[in-house]
Amino acid sequence: MSDLSAAQHNAVRELLRVTPVAGELGERFEAAGHALHLVGGSVRDALLGRLGDDLDFTTDAHPDAVLAITAGWAEASWQTGIAFGTVGLMRRGFRLEITTYRAEAYDRLSRNPDVTYGDSLSDDLARRDFSVNAMALALPDWKAPEAFVDPYCGLDDLAARVLRTPGAPQRSFGDDPLRMLRAARFAAQLGFSVDPAVVSAMGELAGRLEIVSVERITEEFSKLLCGPDPRAGLELLVDTGLASYVVPELPALRLEIDEHHQHKDVYDHTLQVLERAIALETGGPDLVLRLAALLHDIGKPRTRRKEPG
Protein backbone atom coordinates (compact mmCIF):
# COMPACT_ATOMS: atom_id res chain seq x y z
CA MET A 1 0.00 0.00 0.00
CA SER A 2 2.90 2.30 -0.67
CA ASP A 3 0.77 4.46 -3.00
CA LEU A 4 -1.34 5.62 -0.06
CA SER A 5 -0.46 8.60 2.06
CA ALA A 6 -0.07 8.09 5.79
CA ALA A 7 -3.50 9.61 6.37
CA GLN A 8 -5.12 7.35 3.78
CA HIS A 9 -3.35 4.29 5.19
CA ASN A 10 -4.70 5.20 8.61
CA ALA A 11 -8.19 5.66 7.15
CA VAL A 12 -8.15 2.15 5.71
CA ARG A 13 -6.76 0.75 8.95
CA GLU A 14 -9.52 2.52 10.87
CA LEU A 15 -12.14 1.10 8.52
CA LEU A 16 -10.93 -2.43 9.12
CA ARG A 17 -10.60 -1.82 12.87
CA VAL A 18 -14.17 -0.58 13.10
CA THR A 19 -15.41 -3.28 10.74
CA PRO A 20 -13.54 -6.46 11.70
CA VAL A 21 -16.15 -8.40 9.77
CA ALA A 22 -14.25 -7.46 6.59
CA GLY A 23 -11.13 -9.24 7.80
CA GLU A 24 -13.13 -12.22 9.01
CA LEU A 25 -14.85 -12.48 5.66
CA GLY A 26 -11.53 -12.32 3.83
CA GLU A 27 -10.18 -15.18 5.92
CA ARG A 28 -13.19 -17.35 5.08
CA PHE A 29 -12.80 -16.74 1.35
CA GLU A 30 -9.05 -17.35 1.50
CA ALA A 31 -9.61 -20.66 3.30
CA ALA A 32 -12.07 -21.65 0.56
CA GLY A 33 -9.55 -20.84 -2.16
CA HIS A 34 -11.28 -17.71 -3.44
CA ALA A 35 -10.19 -14.10 -3.76
CA LEU A 36 -12.03 -11.31 -1.99
CA HIS A 37 -11.55 -7.56 -2.33
CA LEU A 38 -13.15 -4.61 -0.64
CA VAL A 39 -14.15 -2.51 -3.62
CA GLY A 40 -15.83 0.56 -5.03
CA GLY A 41 -17.51 3.06 -2.78
CA SER A 42 -16.27 1.30 0.35
CA VAL A 43 -12.63 1.94 -0.59
CA ARG A 44 -13.42 5.45 -1.76
CA ASP A 45 -15.23 6.34 1.44
CA ALA A 46 -12.53 4.79 3.61
CA LEU A 47 -9.94 7.00 1.94
CA LEU A 48 -12.21 10.02 2.42
CA GLY A 49 -12.67 9.17 6.10
CA ARG A 50 -16.40 8.51 5.64
CA LEU A 51 -16.98 5.27 7.52
CA GLY A 52 -20.35 3.62 7.04
CA ASP A 53 -22.26 0.43 7.79
CA ASP A 54 -22.48 -0.71 4.14
CA LEU A 55 -19.53 -2.59 2.67
CA ASP A 56 -19.10 -3.78 -0.92
CA PHE A 57 -16.92 -6.71 -1.95
CA THR A 58 -16.05 -8.43 -5.20
CA THR A 59 -14.93 -12.02 -5.66
CA ASP A 60 -14.20 -14.71 -8.20
CA ALA A 61 -16.65 -16.98 -6.34
CA HIS A 62 -20.08 -17.42 -7.89
CA PRO A 63 -23.16 -16.74 -5.73
CA ASP A 64 -23.72 -20.39 -4.75
CA ALA A 65 -20.14 -20.56 -3.48
CA VAL A 66 -20.55 -17.25 -1.64
CA LEU A 67 -23.61 -18.62 0.15
CA ALA A 68 -21.70 -21.77 1.10
CA ILE A 69 -18.68 -19.83 2.38
CA THR A 70 -20.79 -17.53 4.54
CA ALA A 71 -23.25 -20.15 5.80
CA GLY A 72 -23.28 -20.16 9.61
CA TRP A 73 -21.26 -16.93 9.72
CA ALA A 74 -23.76 -14.43 8.36
CA GLU A 75 -26.57 -13.56 10.74
CA ALA A 76 -28.94 -12.97 7.82
CA SER A 77 -28.77 -13.13 4.06
CA TRP A 78 -30.92 -12.07 1.12
CA GLN A 79 -30.82 -13.04 -2.50
CA THR A 80 -32.80 -10.29 -4.19
CA GLY A 81 -29.75 -9.38 -6.28
CA ILE A 82 -28.56 -12.90 -6.97
CA ALA A 83 -29.63 -12.70 -10.63
CA PHE A 84 -27.05 -9.93 -10.93
CA GLY A 85 -24.39 -11.92 -9.08
CA THR A 86 -24.88 -10.19 -5.71
CA VAL A 87 -25.42 -11.83 -2.33
CA GLY A 88 -26.44 -9.64 0.60
CA LEU A 89 -25.45 -10.42 4.18
CA MET A 90 -25.82 -8.98 7.65
CA ARG A 91 -23.14 -9.39 10.30
CA ARG A 92 -22.79 -7.45 13.57
CA GLY A 93 -24.90 -4.59 12.28
CA PHE A 94 -23.00 -4.27 9.00
CA ARG A 95 -24.70 -4.72 5.66
CA LEU A 96 -22.40 -6.56 3.26
CA GLU A 97 -22.86 -7.05 -0.47
CA ILE A 98 -20.63 -9.57 -2.23
CA THR A 99 -20.71 -9.52 -6.02
CA THR A 100 -19.06 -11.93 -8.42
CA TYR A 101 -16.71 -10.33 -10.95
CA ARG A 102 -18.98 -9.22 -13.75
CA ALA A 103 -19.54 -7.26 -16.91
CA GLU A 104 -22.90 -5.76 -17.80
CA ALA A 105 -24.45 -3.78 -20.60
CA TYR A 106 -27.85 -2.68 -21.83
CA ASP A 107 -29.19 -3.54 -25.22
CA ARG A 108 -31.02 -0.65 -26.80
CA LEU A 109 -34.51 -1.91 -25.92
CA SER A 110 -33.99 -3.26 -22.39
CA ARG A 111 -34.61 -1.54 -19.08
CA ASN A 112 -32.46 -4.07 -17.24
CA PRO A 113 -28.77 -4.84 -17.70
CA ASP A 114 -27.57 -8.10 -19.17
CA VAL A 115 -25.12 -9.49 -16.64
CA THR A 116 -22.34 -11.96 -17.36
CA TYR A 117 -19.66 -13.04 -14.92
CA GLY A 118 -16.19 -11.66 -15.52
CA ASP A 119 -12.93 -13.56 -15.42
CA SER A 120 -10.75 -11.33 -13.25
CA LEU A 121 -10.57 -8.41 -10.87
CA SER A 122 -9.08 -6.25 -13.62
CA ASP A 123 -12.09 -6.94 -15.86
CA ASP A 124 -14.42 -6.10 -13.00
CA LEU A 125 -12.70 -2.80 -12.21
CA ALA A 126 -12.71 -1.85 -15.90
CA ARG A 127 -16.53 -1.86 -15.90
CA ARG A 128 -16.86 0.40 -12.86
CA ASP A 129 -18.55 3.76 -13.29
CA PHE A 130 -15.73 6.11 -12.22
CA SER A 131 -12.04 5.77 -11.47
CA VAL A 132 -12.58 6.69 -7.80
CA ASN A 133 -14.84 3.62 -7.58
CA ALA A 134 -12.40 1.37 -9.45
CA MET A 135 -10.02 0.82 -6.54
CA ALA A 136 -9.87 -2.42 -4.57
CA LEU A 137 -8.22 -3.74 -1.43
CA ALA A 138 -7.31 -7.42 -1.10
CA LEU A 139 -8.44 -9.23 2.03
CA PRO A 140 -7.47 -10.50 4.48
CA ASP A 141 -3.84 -9.41 3.99
CA TRP A 142 -4.63 -5.76 3.26
CA LYS A 143 -1.18 -4.57 4.40
CA ALA A 144 0.67 -6.40 1.62
CA PRO A 145 2.32 -4.05 -0.92
CA GLU A 146 0.23 -5.44 -3.77
CA ALA A 147 -3.04 -5.42 -1.80
CA PHE A 148 -4.11 -1.97 -2.99
CA VAL A 149 -5.26 -2.18 -6.62
CA ASP A 150 -5.70 1.06 -8.56
CA PRO A 151 -5.33 0.52 -12.33
CA TYR A 152 -7.12 3.74 -13.35
CA CYS A 153 -5.43 6.29 -11.06
CA GLY A 154 -8.48 6.59 -8.86
CA LEU A 155 -6.30 7.72 -5.97
CA ASP A 156 -5.08 10.70 -7.99
CA ASP A 157 -8.63 11.58 -9.02
CA LEU A 158 -9.78 11.23 -5.43
CA ALA A 159 -7.12 13.71 -4.33
CA ALA A 160 -8.18 16.08 -7.12
CA ARG A 161 -11.86 15.44 -6.30
CA VAL A 162 -12.72 14.87 -9.94
CA LEU A 163 -14.89 12.26 -11.65
CA ARG A 164 -13.43 10.44 -14.63
CA THR A 165 -14.43 7.13 -16.17
CA PRO A 166 -12.00 4.19 -16.36
CA GLY A 167 -12.37 4.14 -20.15
CA ALA A 168 -14.14 6.28 -22.73
CA PRO A 169 -17.18 7.87 -21.06
CA GLN A 170 -19.34 7.20 -24.13
CA ARG A 171 -18.76 3.48 -23.73
CA SER A 172 -19.30 3.58 -19.97
CA PHE A 173 -22.59 5.47 -20.26
CA GLY A 174 -23.66 3.30 -23.17
CA ASP A 175 -23.16 0.23 -20.97
CA ASP A 176 -25.22 1.72 -18.14
CA PRO A 177 -26.88 5.11 -18.78
CA LEU A 178 -27.71 5.50 -15.08
CA ARG A 179 -24.04 6.34 -14.54
CA MET A 180 -24.71 9.78 -16.02
CA LEU A 181 -27.19 10.50 -13.25
CA ARG A 182 -24.75 9.04 -10.75
CA ALA A 183 -22.14 11.60 -11.83
CA ALA A 184 -24.56 14.36 -10.88
CA ARG A 185 -25.31 12.58 -7.61
CA PHE A 186 -21.62 12.45 -6.69
CA ALA A 187 -21.28 16.15 -7.52
CA ALA A 188 -24.05 16.83 -5.01
CA GLN A 189 -23.02 14.22 -2.46
CA LEU A 190 -19.22 14.42 -2.45
CA GLY A 191 -18.54 17.87 -3.90
CA PHE A 192 -16.56 16.42 -6.81
CA SER A 193 -16.11 18.24 -10.10
CA VAL A 194 -16.80 16.34 -13.33
CA ASP A 195 -14.19 15.97 -16.04
CA PRO A 196 -15.13 17.94 -19.20
CA ALA A 197 -15.01 14.78 -21.32
CA VAL A 198 -17.53 13.18 -18.98
CA VAL A 199 -19.80 16.24 -19.10
CA SER A 200 -19.65 16.21 -22.89
CA ALA A 201 -20.60 12.53 -23.04
CA MET A 202 -23.50 13.14 -20.66
CA GLY A 203 -24.93 15.72 -23.04
CA GLU A 204 -24.32 13.50 -26.04
CA LEU A 205 -26.01 10.43 -24.54
CA ALA A 206 -28.68 12.02 -22.34
CA GLY A 207 -31.47 10.36 -24.32
CA ARG A 208 -30.16 6.91 -23.37
CA LEU A 209 -31.52 7.49 -19.88
CA GLU A 210 -34.95 6.60 -21.28
CA ILE A 211 -34.13 2.89 -21.20
CA VAL A 212 -33.38 2.90 -17.45
CA SER A 213 -36.21 1.90 -15.13
CA VAL A 214 -38.07 4.61 -13.26
CA GLU A 215 -37.23 2.92 -9.97
CA ARG A 216 -33.48 3.15 -10.53
CA ILE A 217 -33.73 6.77 -11.65
CA THR A 218 -35.85 7.67 -8.64
CA GLU A 219 -33.35 6.12 -6.23
CA GLU A 220 -30.41 8.03 -7.73
CA PHE A 221 -32.31 11.30 -7.93
CA SER A 222 -33.41 11.01 -4.30
CA LYS A 223 -29.79 10.47 -3.22
CA LEU A 224 -28.75 13.50 -5.27
CA LEU A 225 -31.41 15.67 -3.71
CA CYS A 226 -30.40 14.59 -0.20
CA GLY A 227 -26.73 15.41 -0.75
CA PRO A 228 -24.99 18.35 0.96
CA ASP A 229 -25.03 20.39 -2.27
CA PRO A 230 -27.95 19.30 -4.47
CA ARG A 231 -27.71 22.51 -6.48
CA ALA A 232 -24.42 21.33 -8.01
CA GLY A 233 -26.00 18.09 -9.15
CA LEU A 234 -29.18 19.73 -10.42
CA GLU A 235 -27.26 22.31 -12.43
CA LEU A 236 -25.25 19.51 -14.04
CA LEU A 237 -28.47 17.70 -14.97
CA VAL A 238 -29.92 20.84 -16.53
CA ASP A 239 -26.73 21.85 -18.34
CA THR A 240 -26.30 18.42 -19.93
CA GLY A 241 -29.96 17.94 -20.83
CA LEU A 242 -30.41 14.98 -18.48
CA ALA A 243 -32.97 16.91 -16.45
CA SER A 244 -35.37 16.68 -19.40
CA TYR A 245 -35.53 12.92 -18.77
CA VAL A 246 -35.66 13.09 -14.96
CA VAL A 247 -37.54 16.23 -13.93
CA PRO A 248 -38.42 18.10 -17.16
CA GLU A 249 -40.27 20.77 -15.22
CA LEU A 250 -36.96 22.08 -13.88
CA PRO A 251 -35.28 23.24 -17.12
CA ALA A 252 -38.62 24.68 -18.24
CA LEU A 253 -38.35 27.18 -15.38
CA ARG A 254 -35.43 28.87 -17.12
CA LEU A 255 -37.92 30.39 -19.54
CA GLU A 256 -40.00 31.94 -16.80
CA ILE A 257 -39.36 35.48 -15.55
CA ASP A 258 -39.25 35.90 -11.79
CA GLU A 259 -42.33 37.94 -10.96
CA HIS A 260 -40.57 39.44 -7.94
CA HIS A 261 -37.60 40.51 -10.11
CA GLN A 262 -35.12 39.22 -7.53
CA HIS A 263 -33.62 36.53 -9.79
CA LYS A 264 -32.89 36.27 -13.50
CA ASP A 265 -35.54 33.54 -13.87
CA VAL A 266 -37.75 31.16 -11.89
CA TYR A 267 -35.13 28.41 -12.25
CA ASP A 268 -32.56 30.42 -10.31
CA HIS A 269 -35.24 31.40 -7.79
CA THR A 270 -36.16 27.73 -7.32
CA LEU A 271 -32.58 26.71 -6.59
CA GLN A 272 -32.28 29.47 -4.00
CA VAL A 273 -35.53 28.37 -2.36
CA LEU A 274 -34.11 24.85 -2.18
CA GLU A 275 -30.94 26.13 -0.50
CA ARG A 276 -32.99 28.11 2.02
CA ALA A 277 -35.15 25.08 2.78
CA ILE A 278 -32.03 23.01 3.43
CA ALA A 279 -30.82 25.67 5.88
CA LEU A 280 -34.03 25.11 7.90
CA GLU A 281 -33.46 21.38 8.38
CA THR A 282 -32.69 20.22 11.91
CA GLY A 283 -32.60 16.43 11.72
CA GLY A 284 -30.65 15.65 8.59
CA PRO A 285 -31.79 15.71 4.95
CA ASP A 286 -35.57 15.90 4.54
CA LEU A 287 -36.45 14.55 1.09
CA VAL A 288 -40.06 15.71 1.24
CA LEU A 289 -39.06 19.25 2.21
CA ARG A 290 -36.45 19.39 -0.55
CA LEU A 291 -38.88 18.08 -3.16
CA ALA A 292 -41.46 20.64 -2.07
CA ALA A 293 -38.92 23.44 -2.44
CA LEU A 294 -37.73 22.16 -5.81
CA LEU A 295 -41.20 21.71 -7.27
CA HIS A 296 -43.09 24.63 -5.73
CA ASP A 297 -43.17 26.67 -8.96
CA ILE A 298 -43.33 23.95 -11.61
CA GLY A 299 -46.89 24.88 -12.61
CA LYS A 300 -45.90 28.30 -13.92
CA PRO A 301 -44.76 27.28 -17.43
CA ARG A 302 -47.98 25.34 -18.12
CA THR A 303 -50.33 27.97 -16.70
CA ARG A 304 -48.72 31.04 -18.23
CA ARG A 305 -50.97 33.06 -20.50
CA LYS A 306 -51.21 36.57 -21.82
CA GLU A 307 -54.26 38.66 -20.99
CA PRO A 308 -55.39 41.92 -22.58
CA GLY A 309 -54.34 45.03 -20.70
Residue 174 in domain: no
Residue 227 in domain: no
- Give the containing element (helix H, strand E) for 100: strand 94-100
Q: Domain residues for 86?
A: 1-160
Q: DSSP string spanning 53-70?
A: SEEEEEESS-HHHHHHHH
* CATH code for the domain of 52: 3.30.460.10
- C-alpha 96/C-alpha 139 separation (Å) is 14
The mean pLDDT of 230-257, rounded to a whole number, is 90
Q: DSSP string spanning 227-257?
A: SS-HHHHHHHHHHHTTHHHH-THHHHGGGSP
Residue 216 in domain: no
What's the whole-number average pLDDT of the chain? 88
Strand partners, 54: 95
> What pLDDT, in 10s, does the model give residues 263-297?
557 888 999 999 999 999 998 999 999 999 999 98
Which of the listed residues 113, 135, 160 is the one where a domain comes to its end? 160
* Range 67-73, long-range pairs (CB < 8 A, 24+ positions): 68/32, 69/28, 69/29, 69/32, 69/34, 70/25, 70/28, 70/98, 73/24, 73/25, 73/28
Residues 254 and 155 in one domain: no
**Of 250 and 9, which is predicted with more confidence?**
250
Residues 7 and 140 in one domain: yes
Percent of the chain with pLDDT over 70: 85
Residues 6 and 148 in one domain: yes
**By C-alpha distance, which of 68, 47, 249, 31 is closest to 136?**
47
Cβ pair 185, 285 in contact under 8 A? no
> Where does the pLDDT of residue 2 fall: very low under 50, low under 70, confident under 90, or very high at 90 and above?
very low
Split into its structural domains, the chain has a count of 2
Residues 7 and 111 in one domain: yes
Residue 254 has what pLDDT? 80
Residues 293 and 147 in one domain: no
Residues 150 and 258 in one domain: no
Residue 14 in domain: yes
Residue 134 in domain: yes
Residue 131 has what pLDDT? 97
Does 156 score more than 50 pLDDT? yes
Residue 46 in domain: yes
Does 43 score more than 70 pLDDT? yes
Residue 219 in domain: no
Residue 306 has what pLDDT? 58
Residue 107 in domain: yes
Which of the listed residues 160, 190, 213 is the one where a domain comes to its end? 160
Residues 150 and 9 in one domain: yes
Question: What 3-state DSSP class applies to 25?
Answer: helix
pTM for this model (two decimals): 0.85
Residues 280 and 156 in one domain: no
Which of the listed residues 144, 160, 176 is the one where a domain comes to its end? 160
Residues 22 and 143 in one domain: yes
Does 167 score more than 50 pLDDT? yes
